[in-house]
Amino acid sequence: MVKEKDKKEKPETKKTTKEEKPNAKADKEKTAKAAKKTEKTEKAETPVEETPEKPGKVEETGKTEPAAEETEALVETTTEKFEFQSEVQQLLHILVYSLYQHKEVFVRELISNAVDALNKVQFESLLNSDIEDKDLDFRIDITLDKDKKKFIIEDTGIGMTKEELVENIGTIAHSGTVEFIKRLSESENADKMNLIGQFGVGFYSSFMAADEIHVHTRSYQKGSKGLLWKSKGDNNYTIEEKGKKHRGTRIELFLKEDEKEFLEKYRIKSIIGAHSKFVPFPIYLESEKIDSKEAIWTQPKSQLKEKDYNEFFRFFQNATDDPETYIHLSSDAPVQFNAVMYIPKVNSEIYGWVKSDPGLDLYSRKVLIQKSCRDILPEYFRFIKGVVDSEDIPLNISRETIQSNIRVDKIRKFILKKVFDHFAEIKSKDMEKYLNIWKNFQRNFKEGVPNEFEYREQLAALLLFNSSKTPKDKYTDLDQYIERMPADQYEIYYVMGANYDAIEKNPALEAFKKKNMEVLYFLDPMEAWAVDHLQTYKGKMFRPVEAADIKLEDEEAEKKQKEDEKEKEEFKEAENLVTYLKTIYGAKIEDVKISQRLVDSPCILVSSKSGPSPQLERIMRMQNQKADFSKKVLEINPKNKLIHEMIRIHKLNPVSPELKTLALQLLDNMILREGVFEEIDYIVPRIHDIMYEAAKSVQPVESKE
């Protein structure tokens, strides 16, 4: 049926049959008058009789002429010519003449459009049973015609009317198009590719590979006619009535001479596998159904079992192992999205040093819009693999737009909180599983502390450490450390070393062990790096055991020790050695003091109050950074036998060359212990001299007769 409004806009044309053909000219005026009379008087809907004959030509007056052929004829309508919107013209020029890489994006865009059309007609079929070809299957077909160099994609979707063709393809019906075109024209090639698709312009990417495009379409509306849209990518396009038998859209791309790769089945198959393997409708390539997988993230959790999640992970990641754990999220507010994320059992980064790409892919309506999206999870969680899908995000959106998209930001905050909650729950309920995660991805957690601000304390709560109160193969966390702290302890103490055994021999631990105070052991430089940025945890400051302002000796005991006459004399002699050492060392160190922390070791080199921690300095040296490191404080232990002998030598001969050699080596030993080898050419010969003198002192053993 033709609506009254349509009749006013365009006079009804009569279709001629073979029998009527000889009288067509005679009846022409009568037909026109009858149509005019009907419009003025009856104002009623008039059925248009459908015949299988070929259309004749329609002049702009609306009158018909008989077809030239004597075979079956239908009425052929006049081809109408349109100009593209000015912004579209600029866009087409950029696409056709300025871009040369990643042309395969047009395949993804055309499939996305087909999926959107199928989704719409599927929805309409639920509301309205009276649609064109209601029993037609929902599907996408791709055909490669090598002889005619045509790439053809056809869907059984909602189709388009003439008005929709003009609106959807002839214009960019969205706000901000001028700014978009400006950014596209000014961007480098790589950035242009990221911008393709914004504001619904994904269809035009086809002109990167095609000289000419034909769009055959027929709307889902009952009684609609087939239309043909044509363009060569210039300023114009045409629309004509052309019989398309069934509902949907068929797009024919007449490929450029150098774009024959898109006529190869394996090439198109790989593009579909990369971008469209989760679309909800079957895709047939050259009549072969492309393998796809059910989008598990859209299914209710109650209907899924662990084996379903594992099977999807193996398909999605092309993996042979099951994941360590997974997270399935669904949300309708504040923004709609579904997500399924996995923590693998294996770290894909080689030895933890080569960074992998982010593991989350961003989808919209089950169509991939960004692989390895960097804007959902922070970089340190790049090992988490999975899919985030939101219908609220446009199918075509650039990376730059994703970064500033408020919906994406809300998704990011929601997901990040759930990820932290998930790790915390595993850590509290299944420590064995958490240790497996920690073993593989501990460097990622540590890497995140300096870079995370909003969730820094939640991330710190997930860290594990060795400790002076745990066996070598066991761990503790910061909350457990705080729970064991004495009431009068206000700081978290830590020490760094190459391994557990080396730390155990660190002289800075002697006083802590004597007082049974726990110290965290940092075996990885990244732990010290993290703590230097963390600074505090739940109000407790981190403090390296070598820090110069730590004083563990009881002040009353110290006072009593100084009051004892003998101790007082020994203390004075030790002070004299301190003065001597300051003279020998000069500007090499900041100060020399008598230690209140050492029990057995002769000396220790500690940081000044204003300087960075020894751990941070070591890391900076490992990275070959040239920095003006702070001077250290040397603490000596008068109770140690070596220092005791040096005090004795100084008392006998303050200018003894042997004493000077011992003093220099004493400091160099501590510098070497920190991993600094800048004066190694002086240190080694001095060691040899000390060894020589020790060897000379050995006397022959007298034989007993």
**Predicted confidence (pLDDT) per residue in 49-64, tens digit:** 333 333 333 333 333 3
**Predicted confidence (pLDDT) per residue in 176-205, tens digit:** 444 445 555 555 544 444 444 333 457 878
Residue 153: which of 191, 200, 114 has the closest Cα?
114
Evaluate whether 603 touches 637 at the Cβ level (below 8 Å).
yes
Evaluate whether 632 touches 605 at the Cβ level (below 8 Å).
yes
Evaluate whether 532 touches 616 at the Cβ level (below 8 Å).
yes
CA distance 492 to 542: 5
Given a cut of 80, whether residue 400 has pLDDT beyond it is: no
Peptide bond into 334 cis (omega under 30): yes
- pLDDT band for position 558 (50/70/90)? low
Given a cut of 50, whether residue 214 has pLDDT beyond it is: yes
**Predicted confidence (pLDDT) per residue in 60-119, tens digit:** 333 333 333 333 334 456 789 888 766 666 666 665 554 445 688 889 889 988 988 998
Where b means 16+ CB within 10 Å and e means fewer, 237-255 reads bebbbbebeebbbbbbbbb
CA distance 686 to 565: 38
Count of H-run helices and E-run strands, the chain: 23, 22
- pLDDT band for position 9 (50/70/90)? very low
Q: Which 3 state secondary structure label does DSSP give 661? A: helix
Q: Which of 395-409, 456-470, 575-589 has the lowest mean pLDDT?
A: 395-409
Evaluate whether 476 touches 461 at the Cβ level (below 8 Å).
no
- 661 vs 56, more confident: 661
SS (H, E, C) 41-70: HCCCCECCCCCCCCCCEECCCCCECCCCCC
Given a cut of 70, whether residue 253 has pLDDT beyond it is: yes
**Predicted confidence (pLDDT) per residue in 330-341, tens digit:** 998 888 999 999
Q: What's the confidence (pLDDT) of residue 313?
A: 93
**Predicted confidence (pLDDT) per residue in 141-171, tens digit:** 999 999 999 999 999 999 999 999 888 786 6
- Alpha-helical (H) ranges within 318-430 are 399-404, 406-429
CA distance 698 to 284: 92
Percent of the residues in the chain that have a pLDDT greater than 90, as a whole number: 43
Residue 140: which of 284, 298, 292 has the closest Cα?
284
Give whichever of 19-33, 218-232, 399-413, 612-626 has the largest mean pLDDT.
218-232
CA distance 444 to 467: 21
Average model confidence (pLDDT) across the chain: 79
